[in-house]
Amino acid sequence: MQTDRGNAMGIIKTDKLTFEYIRRDEEGNVEGITRAVDEVDMDIRQGDFIAILGHNGSGKSTLAKHINAILYPTEGTVWVDGMNTQDENHLWDIRQEAGMVFQNPDNQIIGQVVEEDVGFGPENMGVPTEEIWERVEESLKAVGMYEFRKHSPNKLSGGQKQRVSIAGVIAMHPKCIILDEPTAMLDPNGRKEVVRAVRALNDVEGITVVLITHYMEEIIHADMVFVMDQGHVAMEGTPREIFSRVDELKELRLDVPQVTLLAHELRQKGVNLPEGILTIEEFTGALMAVSGNK
């Protein structure tokens, strides 16, 4: 079947993606139309680590749900690995290629035992029993949860539950994994666990990662960052480029790590520091250089 492939298309591509929904009041009368996603163009290459930032209500989650065909565009197109998401025949292939992990750790675990939950995806795909066990083992090892395979999910911490969900998605052998605010309900240690696991998947296994978040510290190692506001892409660039634009980020209801903000404030007061400082090492290095020149 002829698929609509662009030239050297990335693993995920969107073209003027728009999503609108009708707002109704209590009686069901139409109040208005909301454009949750507004003409978004994206081209993500296989193996990239992409971050999508935005305040609550910016449209980032709505955008994410188009990638694995949970939502369909009102206008525009989304392609996953060359397949148009609106093509019914490819629905399940798309969902297998683009796996998704959600925000609430409890509400995406189906199995009563960790290994059974990880096997859920492969079971749905009709993978033979022998192979399911292989996939479950390798996925759990990839996220560091193999010793917990016989445990009940109820006894796990938030970070551990999310790692199990990630394992459940990679057991489907997807080309990319989309994480919709996976750390929003976790404590700082849980957040670190999850981000570490996700980075390992990207670095080691070469899985494309799309991380949706509003925690700035998590995106430092991304290849590319998109900042959403009111449904469209307000800023686009590498983490360093994005972090340089502190005032813009604040207007978009976002924040920067303390070290970036401190550097920015000092620069405003005349200290000659470079833009887009991301880490403490960069900061101390730059500051020592400045003080050394006095």
Partner 1 sequence: MSLILDHVNYVYGEDTALAVHALKDINLVIPDGQFIGLIGHTGSGKSTLVQHLNGLMRPTSGAIYYNGEDIHDKDYEKKKLRSKVGLVFQYPEHQLFEIDVFKDVCFGPKNLGLSQKEAELRAYAALKQVGLGDEYFYQSPFDLSGGQKRRVAIAGVLAMKPEILILDEPTAGLDPKGRDEILDQIAKLKEETGITVILVSHSMEDVAKYVERIIVMNRGSVLYDDEPRQVFQHYKELEQVGLAAPQVTYIMQALARQGMEVDTAVTTIKEAEQEILRALSH
Partner 2 sequence: MLRNGERMIRDITLGQYYQADSVIHKLDPRVKLVATIGFIISLFVVDSWVGYVVAALFLACMIKLSKVPFSYMVKGMKAIVFILLITVVFNLFLTPGEPLVTFWKLTITKEGLRIAVMMAVRLSFLIVGSSLMTLTTTPNSLTDGMEKLMGPLKYVKVPVHEVSMMMSIALRFIPILLEETDKIMKAQIARGADFESGNLIKKAKAMVPLLVPLFISAFRRANDLAMAMEARCYRGGEHRTKMKPLRYRGEDRMAYCVLLLYFAGCVAIRVWR
Residues that bind partner 1 (CB under 8 A): 26, 54-57, 157, 184-185, 187-189, 214, 216, 250, 253-255, 257-259, 261-262, 265-266, 269, 271, 280-281, 283-284, 287-288, 290-291, 294
DSSP 8-state symbol, 204:
I
Q: Please choose, from the candidates 20, 28, 37, the residue with its C-alpha nearest in 3D space to the C-alpha of residue 230.
A: 37
**Element (H or E) spanning 34, and its range?**
strand 30-44
Residue with tokens 């565009």: 73
Q: CA 234 to CA 220: how far, in whole Å?
A: 19
Print the SS3 string covering 130-174. HHHHHHHHHHHHHCCCHHHCCCCHHHCCHHHHHHHHHHHHHCCCC
| Shortest Å distance, C-beta 94 to partner 1 | 29
Task: Figure out which of the listed residues 106, 134, 147, 236 binds partner 2, where binding follows CB under 8 A.
Answer: 106
Q: What is the largest CA-CA distance in the chain?
A: 70
Nearest to 222 by CA among 40, 44, 15, 13: 44
Which amino acid would we find at residue 122? P
Using the rule CB under 8 A, is 128 a contact of partner 2? yes
Residue 172 binds partner 2, judged by CB under 8 A: yes
Binding mask 1-30 for partner 2 (x = CB under 8 A): ------------------------------
Of 39-47, 122-130, 201-209, 272-280: span binding partner 2 (CB under 8 A) = 122-130
Q: What is the closest distance, in whole angstroms, from the C-beta atom of residue 60 to partner 2 in the complex? A: 16
User: Closer to partner 2 at the Cβ: 125 or 266?
Assistant: 125
* Residue 33, CA distances (Å) to 19, 21, 30, 75 in order: 10, 6, 8, 14
Instruction: Evaluate whether 60 touches 36 at the Cβ level (below 8 Å).
Output: no
Question: CB of residue 136 vs partner 1: minimum separation in angstroms?
Answer: 27
Identify which of residues 3 and 112 has a Cβ nearer to partner 2 in the complex.
112
Q: Which stretch binds partner 2 (CB under 8 A): 52-60, 73-81, 91-99, 281-289?
A: 91-99
Nearer to partner 2, 67 or 256 (CB): 67
70 binds partner 2 (CB under 8 A): yes
Instruction: Please count the residues of this chain forming the interface with partner 2, following the rule CB under 8 A.
Output: 38
CB 247 → partner 2: shortest distance, Å? Answer: 36
User: Burial letters for 184-216: b for 16+ Cβ neighbours within 10 Å, e otherwise?
Assistant: eebeeebbebbbebbbebbeeeebbbbbbbbbb
Interface region with partner 2, contact rule CB under 8 A, candidates 103-111, 224-232, 264-272, 281-289: 103-111
Query: Which parts of this chain interact with partner 2 (CB under 8 A)?
Result: 68, 70, 92, 95-96, 99-100, 102, 104, 106-113, 115-116, 119-129, 132-133, 136, 154, 165, 168-169, 172
